[in-house]
A and B are shown apart, each in its own frame.
Chain A
Amino acid sequence: MINNLSAKERLSIAREKMPEQDAALRSRNFAEVNLGLSLEQAMREAQRCLLCKSRPCVAGCPVEVDIPEFVACLAQGDLAAAAHALMRDNALPAVCGRVCPQEVQCEAKCVRGVRGLPVAVGYLERFVADWAMANSADLPGPPATVPSGKQAAVVGCGPAGLTAAGELATRGHEVTIFEALHDTGGVLRYGIPEFRLPKGIIDQEVRRLIDVGVRIECNVIIGKTLTLGQLREQYDAVFIGNGAGLPVMLGIDGENLKGVYSANEYLTRVNLMGAGQVFDSATPILRGRHVAVIGGGNTAMDCVRTARRLGAERAMIVYRRGESEMPARVEEVHHAKQEGVEFVMLTAPLAVLGDEAGWARALRCQKMALGEPDASGRRRPVSVAGSEFDLPAEVVINALGTRANPLLTATEPALKLNKWGNIETDERGATSLPGIFAGGDIVRGGATVILAMGDGKRAAAAMDAYLRSA
């Protein structure tokens, strides 16, 4: 029995490496970078797990996936049991296995990481989820539900909304998701590129929801097409998961020149509308030989790697702090480097310079040095006098982050917001209005997929209780 391996035997196994597409090749295509572990690799990696009684990894997971349980099943080659254990707590494991920042969550807590490398929980999650998708026909379907006779509306089809909808539907409530765009997935579809998260995976997850009875209506903008008040009248409870889609502007000269994009526009054109990916896509995108992306988060990495794939000779990250301060996932930074992305660190943008015809031609920059730590605990960048220089760039992408979009909240003054415009909720996701719950980026500000999902799940439980008591 594999799970009878001694601790010493387990400790002697080296962490598996994720097979990936060759860097030179992949920097010019949109196919997925990570190719996934083989069954042998996955089982060997699973055997590295010490099955700790104290389960620190579980505590590190925002939705508390039973990691030792699913990993133990995988180590024995019982994939159906592994899938069952994994999907009990995580509704979108194939997504999370690809985009969660495991290095600061489960893997950060893994005892094997104290000396050496943690168990590759993310790789294993992805492996089991992909297997479950490929074999869904042979797996037991969702348990039959008892209709509750109650109706719930969900605003937004991102990870928060999808999770809440799934949870509500399996509890027997009739659920309709209203999505403003013409397609599902939220940031998963319009933000995160195909080479990190294939769209086919989102399609399959959405299909599963539809199979459990969730209705999805695209092209409905709550606050415009229907008001929140109308939803409250027509439904017994409402979950708001409309995300944080409002770009933070650069606030520097030249930001309206031709060739200057916000990350949301750039990524939406490519990921949602197929610009530059599909040979004759109706949606245009500027390619640019030199592309400068301002920012150091996941969004910036996605933009710069997309720019490489659209043919940029020089695709650059311009970030005002140092590399260790960048908020992006470590793996993305690593992949970006392999793909030939240049990192222009400790550099702040001063202005976008244009030509006579209104096109961007360069980014005027200033060198920075790291001073004392600021409120965020990170060392504060301070400008170095006389260090201005120009970086040639025909395309400049602003990836400074997003804030709460006020479109919905502005039309419902009674909904309590915090000073940043995010919806205020209690720990169960209840807002100031009875029957209205919220979660994800609209509550937290730009956060992560798994936190949005956790919110959706918690709110759904609270909504279920509300619906049954009402």
Chain B
Amino acid sequence: MATVDHPQRLARSGIAADAASRGWAAALHEWTTTVDHKKIGIMYVLMSLVFLVIGGIEALLMRWQLFYPRAEVIGPNVFNQLFTMHGTTMVFFVGMPILIGIGNYMLPLMLGARDMAFPRLNAFGFWITLFGGLLVYLSFITGAAPEIGWFAYAPLTEHTFDRNAGTDFWALGLLISGIGTIGAAVNFIATILGMRAPGMTMRKIPFFAWTMLWTSFQMLLAIPPLTAALVMVLFDRQLGAHFFDVQNGGSAYLWQHLFWFFGHPEVYILILPVFGMVSEVIPVFSRKVLFGYEFMAAATMAIAFISLGVWAHHMFCVGMSRTLDLYFAAASLIVSIPTGIKFFNWLATIYGGRVSLQSPMLFCFGFLSMFLIGGLTGIMLAAAPFDFQLSDSYFVVGHFHWVLIGGTLFGTFAGIYYWYPKVTGRMLSERLAHWHFWLLYIGFILTFGPMHVSGILGMPRRIYTYDPSRDWEWWNQLTTIGALVQTPSYAIFVYNLIASLWKGKPAVDDPWDAWTLEWTTSSPPPSYNFETQPIVHSRRPLWDLKHPDDPDWQYE
């Protein structure tokens, strides 16, 4: 099989190369002022990894406290701060930025564009997101981290109940980083719809672009209501307004509606790009085209729309009317149809393929097996009567970690293992990758599996300790041990990322024998991405190049 050659290789943009050739001060200056989508993408990912470590430490502290009944490792207030910061960090400063970062790096390359549509907005978005994260963490330094949960239920956030500045830092930080997220969404949409290579019609864009498009669409519709709600909280706290001030006629119920109108689509913002990444990886490592591209694209759109109308399944226990309960349960169950379509299409892509179990594909299998279970517990919770029993219990914590780690994280790792050679020009160590995978997989099942049981046994979420008479300790201890099993896997991953920059096997332009445009340019890509403007005739432009005698466009 022929590969695509590039006669000259010009300026490169790898981190190590930069630092080595120019000295740290110059490199730092270059990185802080850059508007190159690739550098910005890398910075987003690095920022997320730092926050991932911080969020992980917070989780370990909570698990330490819950290992024994009546433990006194950390008090109730610190525990509240920890679960607030943990959830906030993971959703806003790990999940979204890592996906935005990968999208930023890869999309222009996959679409055959020179850069994102608005490079300066892109840089602005990154810095303001980082600034928002730092602002939220600044609350620790003032000795008053927020104690309100990532959902910040009113009226606990009102000044009457919470004089702590932490809540203000929290609201302001999320507000600011939300503006960055909207900027990113605007940029993605403009890039995908307006900057594609000649010949790349919407029916030919890489599948990852479809999912980034719909994720961006959800960001546009879901983040501004959160922004508005955060403004309202700040007005209540700072100016004496009454939006959520129940003593003066305000409504705690309104907060829940606004928050979950954001919060539910948010979980799809966190999963759709991952659907895209595994849809890039699975075909390449099965040596088959993605099965049912059109159906997959339509299903993505359906998910994006339906999930805007199901938010109140987080509110069954608030006491809505029977009619609303019914509507929101039914609408939530409908989401499983397009999700199921995607799932079967992935299986059909693998079925009959020549599957190779290298690390990106391994993580896809992790994703497929675990996301299935997480989806099923979601369907259970969407049945209102079932939710009446288990809402606010550890079962819910089990469900959403199962989808967020089994889904978002495994899929993101698949993407990182897949694209690392392109970004750095080096291969990651497969041996370490397998250690990473298995420790994470086993540790993850051990951590979050038992949560479903402790939830069914009646353990509420957000409690900082429990009585031995409840018989919950065995399950909690399993969970904590699982967390300890997971921990080294992240360390191995980070070590692999760093060590391979220097020690990794040099990567060729197209190490996986893949089919999308990013693999035609050098690894790492030059700052201008492509030496000549690529022209596209099918969904697999590289296949066409490699097989001029039997190109795809004949069949599409």
A binds B: no
